[in-house]
Amino acid sequence: MTTAAIIGGGVIGGGWAARFLLNGWDVRVFDPDPEAERKIGEVLDNARRSMPGLSDVALPEEGRLSFHESLAEVVEGAVWIQESVPERLELKQKVYEGLQAHCDAGAIIGSSTSGFKPSELQEQAPRPEQIVVTHPFNPVYLMPLVELVPTAQNTADLVARAKEILTGLGMFPLHVRKEIDAHIADRFLEAVWREALWLVKDGIATTEEIDEAIRMGFGIRWAQMGLFDTYRVAGGEAGMKHFMAQFGPALEWPWTKLMDVPEFTDELVDLIAGQSDAQSGHMSIREMERIRDDNVVSMMRALKAQNFASGAVLNTHDAGLEAKAGMVKRAGDIVDPGQPIVTIRRAVPVDWLDYNGHMTESRYLHAFADATDRLMEIVGCDADYIATGGSFFTAETHIRHIDEAKLGERIEVRTRVLMGEGKKMHLWHEMYGGERLLATGEHILIHVSLETRRPAPFSAEIAENLAMIAGAQSGLPAPDGVGRYVGAPR
């Protein structure tokens, strides 16, 4: 088990703790705030209900979380140390001095700083080469972006190790090659924030109207294509050059006040805080965090289906998790063919729930269909085989919904091959939550030629694998409920 030390367990440190823990790391926390344990516990509760839903495979077993009162203790055995103390340079520098007196010289010290350059953080440090900026985004347990900002003091090996560890946590390390105050992303955020403050101060828009302008429009575009690709498309067939010719001159017009910051008078703070209270004061911050998390997970899952932007990052992470979890992918991986094969292991994501607060009926079929796809892959009907023109079509399905599955619950599908001969495959799936039987799925599939769209015999490899599994499993008792029809006996 690998260990991370979290120095400062506030909004961001708590998010990092969740990101590491739910990816199977042990986490040690140091924070002088007596409320730190409670606050991290609440962040973790939110992370546990949302983060597993990003994956279509199971996350590893959670690591161990512990709280420590000395720096020497917290960094013991840590290969990654994440500093997330308040944004004050002299405090951060003092913290590094304390850390470096005790930590392993090979450990990476990442700083969450939103604004300081890594060279400023390294200035007073006994071992500057160990410190690098790893600036995350809130909530750290869901947002993939982390700006990785090194200096010439950091070795290429440290940068490569940092990228590997962050990628292993399902994050997207963006290597910022030239250090600058506030890195890349916060410069945009600051520009938008300044302009928004002016709009409120000048009485042009309320905080709510500004939020609507973002979430109903360009915020949706930015989440999937960013700025430049969005504008390239907006240039029409002539693309970016046309876009720049058309809209470039507007940059000279009095559209922007980006160079000035409105003075933070009590009046302005009260105006903005008052509007913000009127807009969202009826909800607690934790409630708002849960709404945000559910929305973010749902949006990222939509991008996952397109294998695009943050969705592609999630798919890569899933592939890594699955490889580590040792799921069966080929007939040759099966250890005991006489037992049902685990074809799905995952958590119930937020977009699988319905108004009854549990996994909705269609998602039972979704999970069984994924289990069937995995079984097809195992016996040799994979993407390469399908490209040669053979595949399976489902002819009949019977699902029994036996028990509920709740948000974030870990489910597992165990699959039996009841028959696999000629052109037919008869599968029996059982879905479990722990050892609780949640559902059964019985499916008849017909092998087809994708050219004629008619039944056709399957390949010798598929025939051999199906016969091997069906034969080995034939000694198991007949599944309870197999061949059942719908409806009560009269």
> Which residues does 282 contact at the CB level (< 8 Å), separation at least 6?
none
Residue 214 interacting with ligand L46V6VHR (CB under 6 A): no
Q: Is 98 annotated as a binding residue?
A: no
Q: Is 11 annotated as a binding residue?
A: yes
Residue 261 interacting with ligand L46V6VHR (CB under 6 A): no
Q: Is 411 annotated as a binding residue?
A: no
Q: Site for ligand L46V6VHR (CB under 6 A): which residue of 114, 130, 372, 473?
A: 114
Q: Is 248 annotated as a binding residue?
A: no
What is the C-alpha to C-alpha distance for residues 201 and 196, in angstroms, rounded to an integer?
9
Question: By C-beta, is 111 or 473 nearer to ligand NAI?
Answer: 111
Partner from ligand NAI, ligand L46V6VHR, none contacting 3, C-beta within 5 to 8 A by type: none
Q: Site for ligand L46V6VHR (CB under 6 A): which residue of 137, 141, 243, 364?
A: 137
Contacts (CB under 6 A) with ligand NAI, residues 133-192? 135-136, 138
Closest CA to 6 of 91, 115, 80, 88: 80
Name the DSSP letter for residue 214: I
Cβ atoms 22, 58 nearer than 8 A: no
Contacts (CB under 6 A) with ligand NAI, residues 88-107? 95
- Closest residue to ligand NAI using C-beta atoms: 10
Name the DSSP letter for residue 237: G
Q: Is 7 annotated as a binding residue?
A: no
Q: Site for ligand NAI (CB under 6 A): which residue of 18, 36, 108, 466?
A: 36
Cβ atoms 364, 371 nearer than 8 A: no
Residue 82 interacting with ligand NAI (CB under 6 A): no
Exposed, middle or buried, 349 (CB in 10 Å: 0-12/13-18/19+)?
Answer: buried
Separation in Å, CA 350 to CA 142, 259, 286, 368, 439: 13, 42, 17, 18, 19
Q: Is 413 annotated as a binding residue?
A: no
Q: Site for ligand L46V6VHR (CB under 6 A): which residue of 66, 70, 138, 284?
A: 138
Cβ atoms 270, 323 nearer than 8 A: no
Count of residues interacting with ligand NAI (CB under 6 A): 23
- DSSP for 280-303 reads HTTS-HHHHHHHHHHHHHHHHHHH
Q: Site for ligand L46V6VHR (CB under 6 A): which residue of 186, 293, 377, 442?
A: 186
Q: Give me the residues that bind ligand NAI (CB under 6 A), please.
A: 7-13, 30-33, 36, 84-87, 95, 112-114, 135-136, 138
As annotated, the binding site includes: 8-13
